Amino acid sequence: MTETHPIRVMIVDDHAVVRSGLRFFLLSTDDIELVAEASSGQEALQLCSQAHPDVVLMDMVMPGMDGAQATRMIRQDHPQTQVIALTSFQEGDLVQNALQAGAIGYLLKDVPIDELAQAIRAAHAGRSTLAPAAAQALVKAATQPTPQDYNLTERQKEVLALIVEGLSNIEIGEQLVISPATVRYHVSTILSKLNAANRAEAAALAVKYHLTD
């Protein structure tokens, strides 16, 4: 990279204010050139073919085609283009989805300007940059128990499936032809095995890890 060949960058974000702020920053950086702006994942795919950016700053949460989908398609069609996820969210699932889609970096929108510039340069050189919060989210996600670690019995899976459907203990008992006391025992055991604070969290884990049929 030389002064005569600045790093070509495209911004993808559905918020005009965010794009405006990033535009101001990029225009003030000598070795980085703004070549395109997109307000959606679909528009990003179209502009990428026209503008041929070296690096894309990709928002992850957008209506329609989200950032992970857009990243995956850009990386498939333009493997020479690197994508940095630039978002307000640091949940482990979002980080994992972005990296699995092919993003080379994951930064939060409150990143200092000089760090964003360094991340763009690093991405152009093929090096990854992860926000500390994103790295911590990855570690946390990696240490969460996998579905088989929960060791639920078939009956507990049946009860959990009905919890996901929103049934009460009495309704679960009627459905499975077991007493309310037995239902309470199963629910208590399920919450303990899942390390869930309540039925809602248990249901969320069941859906996330496909714990029920």
- Residue numbers of the domain that contains 151: 147-208
Domain edge (last residue) among 109, 143, 177: 143
Domain edge (last residue) among 90, 109, 143: 143
Spatial CB neighbours of 92, under 8 Å, sequence gap ≥ 6: 137, 138, 140, 141, 144
Q: Are 119 and 157 contained in the same domain?
A: no
**Distance from C-alpha of 153 to C-alpha of 162, rounded to nearest angstrom:** 14
CATH of the domain at 38: 3.40.50.2300
Q: Are 93 and 154 contained in the same domain?
A: no
CATH of the domain at 184: 1.10.10.10
- Specify if 1 maps to a domain: no
pLDDT of residue 1: 43
- Specify if 186 maps to a domain: yes
**Distance from C-alpha of 184 to C-alpha of 31, rounded to nearest angstrom:** 64
- Specify if 182 maps to a domain: yes
Q: Are 35 and 133 contained in the same domain?
A: yes
Buried b (16+ CB within 10 A) or exposed e, 69-92: bbbbbbbeebeebbbbbbbebbeb
Q: Are 76 and 119 contained in the same domain?
A: yes
Q: Are 168 and 125 contained in the same domain?
A: no
Q: Are 59 and 119 contained in the same domain?
A: yes
Q: Per residue of the chain (213 residues), what is the pLDDT tens digit?
A: 445 689 999 999 999 999 999 999 988 899 999 999 999 999 999 999 999 999 999 999 898 899 999 999 999 999 999 999 999 887 777 888 899 899 999 999 999 999 999 999 999 999 999 998 888 877 776 666 555 568 899 999 999 999 999 999 999 999 999 999 999 999 999 999 998 888 988 998 888 888 887
Q: Are 78 and 12 contained in the same domain?
A: yes
Q: Are 83 and 41 contained in the same domain?
A: yes
Tally of domains in the chain: 2
Q: Are 115 and 196 contained in the same domain?
A: no
Q: Are 133 and 151 contained in the same domain?
A: no
- Specify if 2 maps to a domain: no
Q: Are 30 and 94 contained in the same domain?
A: yes
- Specify if 213 maps to a domain: no
Domain edge (last residue) among 99, 119, 143: 143
- Specify if 89 maps to a domain: yes
State how far the alpha carbon of 101 is from the alpha carbons of 71, 76, 113, in Å.
6, 9, 25
pTM over 0.75: no
